Amino acid sequence: MAILRLGAPRRGRAALLRRRTALHDAPKAIRFPSQRSPEAEERQRRRREQQWQGWIVGAAVAVDAVAIALPLAVIAVSNAFNSQNRQYSLGLVMVLPVLWLVVMNLSGAHERRILGLGSEEFKRVSDGAVRSAAVVATSSFALHLTLSRGILVIALPSAMALDLLGRYALRKWLHRRRSTGHFLHRVLVVGNVLAVTDLSRTLQRAPYAGMEVVGCCLDVETDTIPGQNNEIPVLGNLESIRTVVERQNITAVAVTSSLNRDQGWLRRLAWSLERTNVDVLVSPGLTDCVGPRIHIRPVAGLPLLHVEQPELSGAHRLMKAAFDLTMSVLALTLLIPAMLVIAASVRLSTPGPALFRQVRIGLDGRPFTLYKFRTMHVDAEARLADLLHLNERDDGSLFKMRLDPRVTSVGAFLRKYSLDELPQLINVLRRDMSLVGPRPPLPREVASYEADVLRRLMVPPGLTGLWQISGRSDLDWEESVRLDLFYVENWSLVLDLMILWKTLPAVLRHSGAY
């Protein structure tokens, strides 16, 4: 009978011990095959960082699967099937998660380029949910199945809501990780000095987008960008893009629109990067226009960008007015008790009226009276001249002071949580304002507007807006104008809903509220 010996002979053990001792005493200069140079370790680290895109796609698929599985499990456990053909209903419960994932994939909800940015991801998830419901309803009709009402009425709408919430939670987690330097695209910006600087600053203003500008390749021979304090490293010229991509482990190449090259240059660049798994991004130079307004129209074999007109009139304006009217009536009905308490607190704290009235400029330059809860002493305007030298706004467009002595104690609390702006719901009801829009300007501000800034008056001013969810008084004048013009150019009901959704967290953070 053969015996398997687990231990090594004594002589074998001694030889192994001598070999280990020799290796331990070997000169440090000897490099074994398992050891890697620092450059190789860096390349390996960068490859691991690149794998995050696959992880995010897998996480999105997992969210979709959980979103459809949970309501189906609840229905199955509660035995909520009223179908006479029970086996088909049970089979549908087994098949529906697979169908859900397939339809979501066909709807583009798993494309990595849309994950974590913009409203396109949520739109595609909603489209996939509606299409899944349509497939289920059509299949049950074609196969003469008596489908359980719980699936169409409860399971699929619940799955859609859970999927949207799960995608939102995944997006917030991704944004937090990106703020700490993880899950970033390594971007190489290509173009002339001015365009590279503008595009790089735009990308750096939005770290949640995950675009880390590693450096640039310019159309001129230079080692630095004049006047930029070497914030953007110059890694090469237009002929060395492929080499820079490989050396710096670039994951995306962003080409500016002002690059003066022949039409075939961009095509040849894309060809040279085909096998590198690098995304080629082309900036159209339309930084104030978002995706829904931009379409590619082929003309004479050339892909031309078609920019639609802003949605500022007609049915879209009526839809916005109807939404404002409905929501303002509902909000006033719910908030009247709280507003009465606030008004009483203002009257009892300091002498003077509870409401503060001020002339502002609204749609098409028409003046209107804006209502707010009074947050300052009644002699605030008379004391303004003595405080102008303490203005914290360098541009001088508005007077802002963090510790303004004219603000009352109750007023400071109201400003902190934006409660002083609740009476503006009356302005929304009177159609002087909208729930969402640019900040309502003062007449003296409008008098100093340049022609471009006057476009802010093409839509009604808003109770909230991009300016509020982006920092309010902490923003400088140029940034405030840029946000307002962006809203005017790209207004949509979906954008309004997104701003309203982000308003409450912004108010609770009370950043820039003073």
Lowest mean pLDDT across 10-24, 269-283, 359-373, 452-466: 10-24
- Residue given tokens 């290796």 in the structure block: 23
Lowest mean pLDDT among 34-43, 236-245, 472-481: 34-43
pLDDT classification of 2: cutoffs 50, 70, 90: very low
The pLDDT value given to residue 286: 62
Mean pLDDT of 119-142: 86
Residue 103's pLDDT band, with cuts at 50, 70 and 90, is very high
Do residues 104 and 128 make contact, with C-beta atoms less than 8 angstroms apart? yes
Higher per-residue confidence, 92 vs 331: 331
pLDDT one-digit tens code per residue, 57-75: 999 999 999 999 888 887 7
Concatenated DSSP letters for 99-151?
HHHHHHHHTTTT-GGGTTSTTHHHHHHHHHHHHHHHHHHHHHHHTT----HII
CB 216 within 8 A of CB 235: yes
Q: Is the pLDDT of residue 332 over 90?
A: yes
**Tell me, what's the pLDDT at 426?**
95
Tens of pLDDT, residues 214-231: 989 988 877 677 555 557
The model's confidence at residue 498, banded by pLDDT at 50, 70 and 90, is confident
pLDDT of residue 268: 87
pLDDT at 206: 80
- The CATH class for the domain spanning 185-285 reads alpha beta
- For residue range 202-216, list pLDDT tens digits in order: 888 788 888 889 989
Every domain of the chain and the residues it spans: 50-179, 185-285, 315-509
Per the model's pLDDT, the better-predicted residue between 499 and 13 turns out to be: 499
Residue 399 pLDDT: 64
Give the residue-averaged pLDDT of 387-405. 65
**Residue whose C-alpha is closest to residue 492's, from 329, 324, 292:** 292
Confidence (pLDDT) at 33? 46
Identify the pLDDT of residue 31: 44
Q: What percent of the chain has pLDDT over 90?
A: 25
pLDDT at 110: 92
Tokens of 365: 């330059």
Average confidence score pLDDT of the chain? 79
Residue 356, pLDDT score? 92
Output the pLDDT for position 1. Answer: 35
500-508 own/partner pairs: CB under 8 Å, 24+ apart: 500/435, 500/436, 500/464, 502/469, 503/464, 503/468, 503/469, 506/468, 506/469, 507/417, 507/418, 507/468, 508/417
Q: Among residues of the chain, what percentage have pLDDT more than 70?
A: 74
> Counting runs of H as helices and runs of E as strands, what totals does the chain give?
18, 11
First-last CA distance in the chain: 90
**pLDDT above 90: residue 472:** no
Q: Given a cut of 80, is residue 180 above it in pLDDT? A: yes
Mean pLDDT, residues 255-277: 80
Question: What average pLDDT does range 465-482 have in this prediction?
Answer: 77
- Which pTM was predicted? 0.66
Comparing C-alpha atoms, which of 509, 506, 494 is closest to residue 120?
Answer: 494
234 compared with 15, residue with greater pLDDT: 234
